Amino acid sequence: MSLLDPLSHALAAVVAAAHAGLTSAGLDPSSGTVWVLSVAAVVVAVRVALLPLAVQGVRVAHASARARPHLRALAERYRGRRDPDSLRAFADERRRIAAEHRLSPWGVVPLLVQLPVWFALYRLVSDVAAGSPVGVVGPTLVASLGAATVLGVPLAGRGYLGAGAAHLAVVATLAAAAALLSYVTQKYVVAPNTVLDGTPDAMVRAQQLMPALSAVGLLVAAGFVPVALLVYWVVNSTWSLGQAAVVTHWFPTPGSPAATRRT
- Closest to 134 (Cα-Cα) out of 230, 32, 10, 226: 10
pLDDT-derived band at 263, boundaries 50, 70, 90: low
Structural domain spans, the chain: 5-262
187: buried, middle or exposed (CB in 10 Å: 19+, 13-18, 0-12)?
middle
Average pLDDT over residues 152-171: 89
206 in Cβ contact with 263 (< 8 Å):
no
Task: Render pLDDT for 37-66 as a digit per residue (tens, 0 to 9).
Answer: 999 999 999 999 999 989 988 998 899 899
252 pLDDT tier (thresholds 50, 70, 90) = very high
For residue 109, pLDDT over 80 is answered with: no
Band of residue 204 on the pLDDT scale cut at 50, 70, 90: confident
Number of Cβ atoms within 10 Å of the Cβ of 254: 17
pLDDT in the model for residue 260 = 87
Over residues 155-181, mean pLDDT: 91
Provide Rg for the chain, Cα atoms: 23
- Asked if residues 131 and 147 have their Cβ atoms less than 8 Å apart, the reply is no
Q: Is pLDDT of 99 > 70?
A: yes
Note the maximum CA span of the chain.
Answer: 77
Q: 156 in helix, strand or coil?
A: coil
| Mean of pLDDT over the chain | 91
Give the residue from 181, 156, 183, 187 showing the smallest Cα distance to 171: 156
**E-assigned strand segments in 146-214:** 149-150, 153-154
Helical pair 5-24 and 109-129, crossing angle rounded to 10 deg:
60
Residue 102 CA to residue 209 CA, distance in Å, equals 31
Q: Indicate the SS3 state at residue 132.
A: coil
